[in-house]
Structure 1
Amino acid sequence: MKTWRRPSWFALLLTAAGMLLFVRLGCWQLHRADEKQQLLDRYAQAAQAPVQPFAAAAARRPAAAFPRYEVRGRYLADRIYLLDNPRHDARGGVEVYVPLRRDGDDALLLVDQGFLPGNGSDQPPQLPALERGPVQLHGLYVPPPGVGYRMGGNALRRQTRWPKTTVYLDLPQLAADLGTSVYPRVLALDADRGSIYQRQHVLDVGSMPPARHRAYAFQWFTFAVAALVIFVLRHRKPRSRDVSQP
């Protein structure tokens, strides 16, 4: 006795198309996970790379993804920006950014000082004093953190006192606020045990880190298996039992 119903061409094509789509989506998620993991690995390795003069970045686009530069200049100590409650810390706090002017350069370089944890109140933490004279800095030249959702418009324009606080870092808005051009990346300073700032910088890969991409890949592959199981169950005949007469 046959235990299998002959499927229609429509059912075959629909199941095959669905499985192919789910598998392709799963493979795409795995590919994105590998790309982001490689990006994170390069970022981690860049912290140990040799220091290069920043003039290379000023003259042309850096060849390395995350070059490590040495920069000389003076802080604009009265123009401090606070990125409120960065994503890498759950306790609350601010990431501190200060513009730096290099000698003979009209463009400003935004320097990421590091993270200061919250103090349990609505007020920002106390900021340590900045050097007023020439400084020599070392750090990674990295893209600014993602802006996410721009809720509430340009908060910098409405603030008249410094330091200014923002929930996202938009370099064109900062350039307009400072009245001069700003480099398209920021200098994330190297870790310093003697500094009050926490400088465990994490590369911003958006809301989809590699682990989440892999989780979505597993989900799509599960859908492909589920489509095959549903197809088999719908076309399998139940076995009939012989009922013997007494």
Structure 2
Amino acid sequence: MSLLRRPAWWAVLLTLAGTLLFLRLGVWQLHRADEKEELLRRYATSATAPVREFAAVAEAPPVNAYPRVQVRGEYLTDRVYLLDNPKHDQRGGVEVYAPFRLHGQSRLLLVDLGFLPGNGTDQTPQLPPLPGGERELQGLYLPAPGVGFEMGGDALARQSHWPKTTVYLDLAQVSGDLGISLYPRVLSLDADPAAIYVRKHTPDFTSMPSARHRAYAFQWFTFAVVAVVMFLILHRKRKPKPSDQP
């Protein structure tokens, strides 16, 4: 004897579609978690990897890899960009970027000098002067921070004094502001105990860690279970009341 009433076709279809969708979303979140953990492992390995020839990766850097490179050239000492309120900032401050001209190259390389803590207000921290003359730099060749929706358009074009401040670092905007093309990634300098800058760089995708993806996966799987349970509850046969007995 069946314990369930005969369900309507649309109820079966709706429950099946919802359950499959929730399961698919849960599996997708688990895959995203695995991908980010793999990227983090590659990032950690890159920090101690042998130095690669910059020319080999400059124009077409490997996908989902962060080569460690060494370059020689000089800073454009009068051009500095400040990324306001980066994600790892807890006290107020800016991430400082400066264009770097490689010898014999027409393009510029944007260098991430590091994070300069502020005082928790809107005041710009005091920037140390950039060193002039030829320099040799070493670090990770990383994608620029993610670009979001910036209300008001290109903030750099509206500023006439240096350093210039932005809430999103758009390499296309920086290139247009400088009037010179840039390499497709930025050079994130190695840590230096003598530097005033804090250099604890992490990939931009860590804003959504793998643990959160797994939590979302658990949530979607829970929705799938709830959909099935609700279907069973709504279609179970009810025992007849004593008053209904002949």
Correspondence for 1:24: 24
The alignment partner of 2:205 has SS state of coil
Q: CA 1:2/1:61 → structure 2, altered by over 3 Å: closer, same or farther? A: closer
Correspondence for 2:61: 62
Query: Identical aligned pairs, as a percentage?
Result: 65
- Where does the alignment leave 5 or more consecutive residues of structure 1 unmatched? none
Corresponding pairs, count: 242
Deviations 1:79-111 (A, max 9, x none): 011001101213221000011001111100000
Correspondence for 1:194: 194
Task: Give the partner amino acid of 1:233.
Answer: I
1:147 Cα deviation from its structure 2 partner: 1.3
In 1, are the aligned partners of 2:74 and 2:135 still within 8 Å (CA)?
yes
Correspondence for 2:125: 125
1:213 Cα deviation from its structure 2 partner: 2.0
Task: Give the partner amino acid of 1:62.
Answer: P
Correspondence for 2:40: 40
1:206 Cα deviation from its structure 2 partner: 7.2
In 1, are the aligned partners of 2:91 and 2:119 still within 8 Å (CA)?
no
In 2, are the aligned partners of 1:30 and 1:217 still within 8 Å (CA)?
yes
The alignment partner of 2:203 has SS state of coil
Q: Does 1:95 align with 2:86?
A: no
1:76 Cα deviation from its structure 2 partner: 0.5
1:55 Cα deviation from its structure 2 partner: 2.2
The alignment partner of 1:94 has SS state of strand
In 1, are the aligned partners of 2:92 and 2:121 still within 8 Å (CA)?
no
In 2, are the aligned partners of 1:26 and 1:218 still within 8 Å (CA)?
yes
In 1, are the aligned partners of 2:142 and 2:187 still within 8 Å (CA)?
yes
Task: Give the partner amino acid of 1:61.
Answer: A
In 2, are the aligned partners of 1:3 and 1:239 still within 8 Å (CA)?
no
Q: CA 1:191/1:207 → structure 2, altered by over 3 Å: closer, same or farther? A: closer
1:62 Cα deviation from its structure 2 partner: 3.0
Distance 1:121 1:19 in 2: 49
Task: Give the partner amino acid of 1:104.
Answer: G
The alignment partner of 1:52 has SS state of coil
In 2, are the aligned partners of 1:146 and 1:206 still within 8 Å (CA)?
no
Distance 1:160 1:4 in 2: 74
Correspondence for 2:222: 222
- Where does the alignment leave 5 or more consecutive residues of structure 2 unmatched? none
Task: Give the partner amino acid of 2:91.
Answer: R
Correspondence for 1:167: 167
TM-align CA RMSD: 1.9
Deviations 1:157-179 (A, max 9, x none): 11111111111111111111111
Correspondence for 1:145: 145
